[in-house]
Structure 1
Amino acid sequence: MNKLIITKEKSQNILYAIFALVILYTVYEVSMRKKHLAQNFAFTIGKVYKYSGYGGNEDFLVFKYYVNNIEFIGNKRRDYEMDSPLKKFYKIKYSKVKPEISEMYLTEEITDSSKIVKAGF
């Protein structure tokens, strides 16, 4: 009967390999996100509607926006030096190829109600 024996050294090597794969995947995803936003992009308006985070922290802003009448959700790290952006509208850059990829510009608040309505709100 063959028994599978995993030594401490083998298990560490497996963990290192998994860790390396996670790092490589993360780098790939970040580079693809940047590529999608650098090429073939468009702008719309999004609304910050809540804070989120882990362990009771609210380190992220959650925003929604519409592309072709489909709602998308995005998030952005919160800037604590800024006044509360909740329930406010901001400029959103999104990928035309993958509209779920986006970034919000907190320095560009939108207050024109006709533009907000046209954006789907």
Structure 2
Amino acid sequence: MKPQEASQCCGPIDDLLDAELFKALGEPTRLKLLSCLAKCGRACSVTELTECCKVDFSVVSRHLSVLEKAGVLTATKEGRTVMYAVRYKHLSEAFRGLAVAFEGCRPKRRSAKT
């Protein structure tokens, strides 16, 4: 199939390639924050997460907001403190579904004639 034909047909991969998710994950500081938060295994405040990287509190807060908007994190307000947590199940399902969709697009190998 030619690229133009492929772009016209619909498949599960079209719905699973979420530009907002990939944009959110495409920034090194956000990846570092996600990694730090995932390894903590619990919700953390912006102040705690500021210790993970060498950027200002306000920058960390903006990055976490982008990750939350993209569905990567949840944010829960506890008094004046916002606690962020990884949406493990959501991310796992999103990437697992994407992997299956990519596998479905892979060309089938022709078996060698014997």
TM, length-normalised to structure 1: 0.22
Higher share of residues assigned helix: 2
Higher share of residues assigned strand: 1
TM, length-normalised to structure 2: 0.23
Which protein has the larger Cα radius of gyration, Structure 1 or Structure 2? 1
